[in-house]
Amino acid sequence: MQARAVPGVGKRRTRTRTPSSRPRAAFRGLVTAGVALLVLVSGFAAAASFHVGLSPENLGAESSKTGFLTHWQFVGAARGTTPAPVPRVWSAAVATPTRLPRASGTALVRAGVTGHTAASWTFNETVGIGVSTEIVIEYTVNYVVGGIPHTAAGSVFVETQRRAPAGPLTFTVYWDSGTAAAVTIVSLLEVSQLCSAVGVCP
């Protein structure tokens, strides 16, 4: 993964891989996309007052221009709080992915409570996406609460609509920190990957 420092606002770098003769290796090379952001909060700031910056070591991404994830793209990350009403939690079971709705909306990657300190990823789903196809979204969050470091990691599974959407959709997906207290989010990593079949992911 290549990286570069960008002052102030992050920009993704994208590179394309060509399929190899080995199907599994080609599959992974085509559909893996990741992005990492560094999020800092002042020790004297209010609970939800963040400064968003970049980690040169963690900034980067890769995807395929011709791969499935052309139509499922990460477009940003932000600070915030878990909204009201509390969004639906996306499935953590590969065999039972959450069906994406035919309208834009919000979701959680794990259970949350309105008002908790949170971070979020935003994805765009565009016309042309494969129908009834499963995507695994893996995440890792390193954060500090009260001077104690923590790591939260997991995977959620979604399935695209039975009929292709008529227009582009946007989904904002929240990670709930589990507290309304001040939280320092050290790093935030997301990787989206196409599954080989519904109920079967690499």
Q: How many CB atoms are closer than 10 A to CB 3?
A: 15
pLDDT (tens digit, 0 to 9) for every residue of the chain, 202 residues total?
A: 333 333 333 444 444 444 444 444 333 333 333 333 333 332 222 222 222 333 333 323 333 333 457 899 888 888 789 999 999 999 999 999 999 999 999 999 999 999 999 999 999 999 999 999 999 999 988 899 989 999 999 999 999 999 989 999 999 999 999 999 889 888 888 888 889 899 998 7
- Give pTM, 2 decimals: 0.69
Comparing CA positions, the residue from 24, 25, 178 lying closest to residue 111 is: 178
DSSP 3-28: ----SSS-----------SSHHHHHH
Residue 114 and residue 180 in contact, taking contact as beta carbons nearer than 8 Å: no
Domain ranges of the chain: 23-194
Sheet containing 105-108: give its strands across: 72-81, 117-125, 169-176, 105-108, 88-89
Q: How many CA atoms lie within 13 A of 79 on its CB side?
A: 21
